[in-house]
Structure 1
Amino acid sequence: MPDDAIRCDACPVLCYIKPGRTGSCDRYGNQDGQLVRLDPHVMLERAQSRGESLVPFLEKSREWDGTLINDSETFVTAIGAGTTYPDYKPAPFIISSEVAGVDMVTVVTEGIFSYCGVKLKVDTDRHLGAECSTVRAQGEPVGHVTTGEYGSQMLSLGGVRHLTGGSRHEGTATCDTLLNLCNGNPVELEIENGAKVVVQANKAPVVDGVQEERMRVGCGSATIGMFAKQWFGKVDEVVVVDDHITGVLSEHQAGKLLGIPETGIKMKGRRSTPGRYFKVAEPGTSWGGTNISDPLSILAAFDPKAARPGLRLLMVSTTGEQYAYFELDEALGPTEKELPDSLRESVSRIKENCEPALCTVLFMGGAGGSLRAGVTENPVKLTHSVRDALTRVTCGGAPVYVWPGGGITIMVDVSRMPENAFGYVPTPALVAPIEFTLKLDDYAKLGGYMDHVRPLSAIHRDDEGRRRVTSRPDNPWPLGKTSA
């Protein structure tokens, strides 16, 4: 080891860092022989009005100006606070404050998460890939396609197996993918025997080079139910094409109640209940998430007992992006015609009721040894306190969902956190901010590190390297009321 290098003990890698250089994670550096956290430590200021802009946190950020701190209006986040390693060391910051006459304490640390990943919701009507298909980034497997949801395809990325159980390249690619997604950067993913998709938190997905505009209004059956009255009297038959549940107006209960007569239409696929058909085509990126370009390909010959020449047929997708209008000729074959003005409004109404397509990135991680032991000498008590709602858990001040059952497994929408809240260590693992807030009395009962508690007022005396950021007005204030 060079004489002027110092050893970083912030994570298991234990880098030796020369003066003016950074460690492998780029989070810590050697500054004049001192180990320093390079990113600023973020403090949240409570938004004064819900009418404030929701645009980027850091547009409203500013350097610390030395003004006195209002305990109830300032929250110390874990972003830039530093990590706790080895596990037995107390968290970097254990801050007391008075809120509405109650003494509170917030324990903050940047947790090193090996057991973590991303649940990615992609709003699209297009088929991305079969369930359980491998998802790759940089050519490496980083996750899989999981159960689809209403109007969205779901991907599960990361997890300890991809981070640690594969090749070194797989672990690095997985960590890099998670880091970029959690920090709001775009990532290109390739799905086995499926699509290439570019995803970014709170942005529209790009599927095979085409930017998605809207998610579906509903399945084919639901679309029939919603718009049946608007089609009544203007068209004889409507088919809403859908990869999952294709709807047929004349057979559907909505059509029956309106008194729409049989049209003799015959559908391919498997009939479920009246007016609802499964598997009319294979999954794809065209009409209603199917692989068809010609909607007539899902129809069989019309029944001459009920069909008649001139019968009017509208076929439309679940987003209204694809539509076609037909009239039956003398041989009862559909002939495409221009869409009548009387039907244009209903097609536009379908589009209007489709919400913008977005990608939602949820970070999911399990709080293990270093996080819990940094709060109390008896870590299981913290788990019980969280379970009993005595302790509030936040990530960068943003609300989290704590999964039921054992342990502290959390999930948070990264778009509700300040920018660039995540880091990494090259073990590889993700570094994420986590805060535990509870009453000071409860913290003492927890076996907390009371001798390490510092008042919030002490923060302004050591203001170098800190930054104040305005909280999102749509986030609950983390120092709000907790359970008694």
Structure 2
Amino acid sequence: MTEHTKVDFGAERVDGETASTPGPTVLEKAAPRSERMASNKIECNACPVLCQISEGRTGACDRYANADGRLIRVDPVVFLSRAADSPEAITSNADTTVEFGASSEVRDPVAEQALFVTGVGASSTYPDYKPAPFIVSSKRDDVDMVTVVTEGIFSYCSFKVKIDTDRFLGPEQSNVRCHGEIVGHVTTAEYGSQMLSLGGVHHLTGGSKKEGRVTCDMMLALGNKEAVELTIDGGASLVIRAGAAPIVDGVEEQRMRVGCGSATIGIFAKQWFGHADEVVVVDDHITGVLTEHQAGRCLGMTPSGLKIRGRKSTPGRYFQVANPGTGWGGTDIQDPLAIVESFDPAVAKPGMRLLMVSTTGEHAQWYELDQNLVPRIAAMPDAVRGTVERIGENCEPSLATVLFLGGAGGSLRAGATENPVLLTRAIKQRLVNVTCGGAPTYVWPGGGITVMVDVSRMPDRSFGTVPTPAIVAPIEFTMTYDAYRDLGGHLDAVRSLESVLANGPEHTEGAPLARRTIARHPDNPWPPAMPPMPG
């Protein structure tokens, strides 16, 4: 398939090349034909858009296509194997695409138990009253298990981005833009990290068509671990990619701070004792002064007479010493002496030794006071330089972490049960575990099924889109067979893993007829996030 279809609902899509993917898979049958549809088109009902796809073209989502009058699923469903920790299991099929029931299929019961069906490529079920594309039974320690697998269509979803840096990115609540469109905002900073909230239903559906499209495309790229360029009103320009160092104003970040200025004093006070008469750790949030700090007092250090600009908190801790920025310790200063107000001549003495250092150790300067109590740059002693290097050693690498946050408390539950609230309750009772592409999730307390997952632990290209606009993301619900029965599950749609491998999906239109097997992420548990076993 090399072209997009134009969709009837008015989305401003243009025809273009489709990403090359292995092994298109034929769907068993298409949706009923609309009376208004041309005879050379097929209607796809995998999402609310209901594309009418001309021959040789893909739907607007690039997930389905019309090949010689047949509706095909472009991508295979992704299976996980435990090859990451058991190389002897499922090695022949690793990173390969095969048709279900292929004659080359390995019929090894032990190997088959080392497979997990994910929602990546599994297809959606719209309308959701149909059973999920895969409802698979399996065994774990002789206990019957069921996994309900689907690709959910999420309008209520966002990405929370944790950026490990002291650099000032922008004022809290400032708009974050992509291609000029508002796609999120800066939220509260956390310890050593700046935080962004991106996407969400209001940007997807509450603004202009362009805002919705840009937001959706930005979210798709972030979820699929691709680089995204962003700008923050009144702040920095960013390049963010999951699992990679952020680029702030064209500079790749290197270090996450070891702690605030006060924490840094507490960590290294004993190592500075005897080598420096005073140490100031510059920090946008809490600047530390060693001899005033409790750590210095416990060591018996005498006051230095140094007076720091800013608002004094508890002894040795100062707030608001400078404005936020990209300089020393996340402030806007380039000369650290700018935060030194004066030296008390009744306390300070010529020759006094002063270290000023940032919370990452990337900035450091050694001074000695002259006869007029003016600090002069001097050669830093080796022992002191060693402590500065140790600050850097204790800083973790600067990374951007991308967390997908989606509300799954809607109609996709009908693909699991005819009484959706029972699925929600079972999840809250920890009778059901939720995974996304086999990756463990955090289910938020309270109503609904609000899940959060680290996209770095999901298979590559786990996310898709539909031009409503909305994000398509994999989701799996795993539980014991008894729990599935008790929540009113679609028991007539449950199929063994052996049957799925041999015959492919049978009960749901639009499900793929080929699979691709990859090794699980090494940090993810195996089996993927199974619920607690009975007893």
TM range (shorter): over 0.9
Distance 2:214 2:329 in 1: 33
Q: Does 1:63 align with 2:113?
A: no
Instruction: Determine if contact 1:99/1:479 at 8 Å carries over to the other structure.
Output: no
Measured after TM superposition, the shift of residue 404 of structure 1 is 0.5
Q: What TM-score do the two structures reach when normalised by structure 2? A: 0.87
Find the counterpart in structure 2 of residue 40 from structure 1: 76
Q: Which residue of 1 aligns with 2:271?
A: 230
Report the Cα distance in structure 1 between the residues aligned to 2:503 and 2:247, rounded to whole angstroms: 45
Tell me how large the CA RMSD over aligned residues is. 1.6
- Separation in 1, partners of 2:97, 2:220: 26
Matching of residue 469 in structure 1 with residue 518 in structure 2: yes
Instruction: Please state whether the residue corresponding to 1:147 is helix, strand or coil.
Output: strand
What secondary structure does 1:2 align onto? coil
* SS of 1:441 mapped into structure 2: helix
Encode CA deviations 1:270-327: one digit per residue, 9 max, x unaligned: 0001100000000000100000011000011100110011111010000000111111
Who is 1:81 aligned against? 122
SS in 1 for 2:188: coil
1:333 aligns with 2:367: no
Distance 2:87 2:241 in 1: 26
Alpha-carbon offset, residue 98 of structure 1: 1.8
CA drift of 1:343 comes to 1.1
Offset at residue 214 of structure 1 (A) = 0.6
Whether the 8 Å contact between 1:120 and 1:156 is mirrored in structure 2 is yes
Q: Indicate the SS of the match to 2:341.
A: coil
Question: In structure 2, what is the equivalent of residue 170 of structure 1?
Answer: 211
User: Is the Cα contact below 8 Å between 2:438 and 2:458 reproduced in 1?
Assistant: yes
| Offset at residue 50 of structure 1 (A) | 8.0
- Give the partner amino acid of 1:110: E
Cα distance in 2 for residues equivalent to 1:409 and 1:481: 18
Secondary structure, counterpart of 2:190 in structure 1: coil
TM-score norm. by structure 1 comes to: 0.96
In the TM superposition, structure 1's runs of 4+ consecutive aligned residues that sit over 6 Å from their partners are none
Counterpart residue identity of residue 267, structure 1: I
Residue 10 (structure 1) aligned with residue 46 (structure 2): yes
Q: 2:351·2:368 contact (CA, 8 Å) conserved in 1?
A: yes
State the 1:217 CA deviation: 0.5
Counterparts of 1:151-170 in structure 2 under 5 Å? 151-170=192-211
Q: Deviations over 1:205-241 (max 9, x none)?
A: 0000000001000000000010011111111100000
Unaligned runs of 5+ in 2: 1-36, 99-103, 505-512
User: Do the aligned residues in 1 keep the contact of 2:77 with 2:514 (CA within 8 Å)?
Assistant: yes
Q: Which amino acid aligns with 1:22?
A: T
Contact 2:432–2:531 (CA under 8 A) maintained in structure 1: no
1:95-139 deviation line (CA, Å, top 9, x unaligned): 111221111111111000000000000011101011101100111
Q: Distance in 1 between matches of 2:68 and 2:442?
A: 42
Q: Answer yes or no: is 1:215 the counterpart of 2:256.
A: yes
Q: Aligned AA for 1:67?
A: V
Unaligned runs of 5+ in 1: none
Contact 2:138 2:497 in 1 (8 A): yes
| Structure 1 letter corresponding to 2:380 | L
* Map of 1:31 onto structure 2: 67
In 2, Cα distance between the equivalents of 1:346 and 1:263? 20
Q: What secondary structure does 2:413 align onto? A: helix
Pick closer, same or farther for the CA change 1:48–1:424 going to 2, 3 Å: closer
Match of 1:184 in 2: 225
CA distance in 1, matches of 2:286, 2:75: 50
**Residue 263 of structure 1 aligns with which residue?**
304
Question: Offset at 1:342?
Answer: 2.4
